[in-house]
């Protein structure tokens, strides 16, 4: 039973993080178009996280509570210990130990927290761009669908910043957009849109007028 609980917690922890892990994996593999493959999981992420914590909590509860004298659990335990070879009595298998459960718990936490540190996997592609005429500097807002976490933001910014003429790129999964500043003599909005779409996330709209933040 405990092994099944541990397996379930690992599965839900990894599943909850798939939408954020995938952009990093496809970046490493060089197939950025698959970055949004698991974005459909994002709405279920809070439930998967809650289920993972619940299962791990129950597993720790079972591991830490003392066996009540006279209960069936104690009787079963005594039988199991009696059947063990000499010198092995009372020594649980590693997979049934607190150490293993601790490792599983740590791994689950690392997976669930992945969106908060995913940026370390993206190299800095920002460059210093010399703009001769400030009138050539343009700022465009692209509305983007498919981004679900900080990892998605990093992936979009990483790809856009590879383009020649990009001054700054700031994607936001919460707002579903990317504010991109560029030198219009070196690149245009069509090329930028194509690069965003190549990540697997899709541009749904754009403000063709110069966008200004409040």
Q: What is the pLDDT of residue 84?
A: 47
Q: In this structure, what token pair is assigned to residue 8?
A: 């379930």
Q: Do residues 114 and 127 share a domain?
A: no
Q: Do residues 109 and 18 share a domain?
A: yes
Q: What is the pLDDT of residue 104?
A: 83
* 3-state secondary structure (DSSP) of residue 211: coil
pTM of the entire structure? Answer: 0.56
Chain center to CA of 108: 12
In a domain, 37, yes or no: yes
Q: Do residues 62 and 105 share a domain?
A: yes
Q: Do residues 173 and 202 share a domain?
A: yes
Burial class (CB in 10 A: 0-12, 13-18, 19+), 166: buried
- 33 within 8 A of 131, measured Cβ to Cβ: no
Q: What is the pLDDT of residue 69?
A: 47
Of 118, 147, 164, the last residue of a domain is: 118
Q: Which residues of the chain have pLDDT under 70?
A: 1-3, 5, 13, 16-43, 66-92, 118-119, 121-133, 208-214
- 141 within 8 A of 189, measured Cβ to Cβ: no
Q: What is the pLDDT of residue 80?
A: 47
Q: Do residues 61 and 131 share a domain?
A: no
Of 65, 90, 118, the last residue of a domain is: 118
In a domain, 83, yes or no: yes
Q: Do residues 135 and 101 share a domain?
A: no
Q: Do residues 126 and 110 share a domain?
A: no
Q: What is the pLDDT of residue 214?
A: 41
Q: Do residues 155 and 114 share a domain?
A: no
- 26 within 8 A of 158, measured Cβ to Cβ: no
Q: Do residues 109 and 142 share a domain?
A: no
In a domain, 212, yes or no: no
Q: Do residues 41 and 87 share a domain?
A: yes
Cα 102 from Cα 194, distance rounded (Å) = 45
In a domain, 171, yes or no: yes
Q: What is the pLDDT of residue 28?
A: 54
Nearest Cα residue to 111 out of 5, 43, 10: 10
Q: DSSP character for 186?
A: T
Q: What is the pLDDT of residue 198?
A: 86
Domain count, the chain: 2
Q: Do residues 110 and 126 share a domain?
A: no
Q: What is the pLDDT of residue 204?
A: 94
Nearest Cα residue to 78 out of 90, 68, 87: 90
Q: Do residues 105 and 134 share a domain?
A: no
Q: What is the pLDDT of residue 166?
A: 93
- 35 within 8 A of 23, measured Cβ to Cβ: yes
Host domain of residue 28:
2-118
Nearest Cα residue to 166 out of 146, 192, 143: 192
Longest dimension (CA), the chain: 86
Q: What is the CATH number of the domain that holds 137?
A: 3.30.70.100
Burial class (CB in 10 A: 0-12, 13-18, 19+), 184: middle
Of 118, 144, 175, the last residue of a domain is: 118
């Amino acid at each position: 039973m405990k092994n099944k609980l541990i397996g379930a917690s690992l599965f839900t922890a990894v599943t909850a993080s798939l939408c954020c892990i995938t952009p990093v994996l496809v970046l490493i593999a060089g197939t950025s178009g698959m970055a949004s493959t698991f974005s459909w999981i994002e709405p279920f992420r809070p439930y998967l996280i809650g289920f993972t914590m619940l299962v791990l909590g129950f597993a720790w509860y079972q591991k830490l509570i003392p066996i009540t004298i006279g209960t069936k659990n104690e009787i079963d335990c005594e039988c199991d210990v009696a059947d063990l070879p000499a010198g092995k009595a009372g020594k649980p298998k590693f997979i049934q130990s607190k150490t293993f459960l601790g490792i599983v718990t740590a791994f689950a936490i690392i997976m669930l927290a992945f969106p908060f540190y995913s940026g370390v996997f993206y190299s800095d592609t920002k460059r210093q761009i010399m703009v001769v005429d400030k009138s050539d500097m343009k700022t465009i807002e692209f509305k983007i669908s498919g981004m679900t976490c900080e990892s998605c933001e990093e992936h979009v910014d990483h790809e856009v910043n590879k383009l020649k003429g990009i001054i700054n790129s700031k994607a936001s999964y919460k707002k579903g957009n990317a504010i991109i500043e560029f030198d219009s003599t070196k690149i245009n909005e069509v090329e930028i849109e194509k690069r965003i779409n190549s990540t697997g996330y899709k541009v749904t709209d754009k403000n063709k007028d110069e966008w200004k933040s409040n």
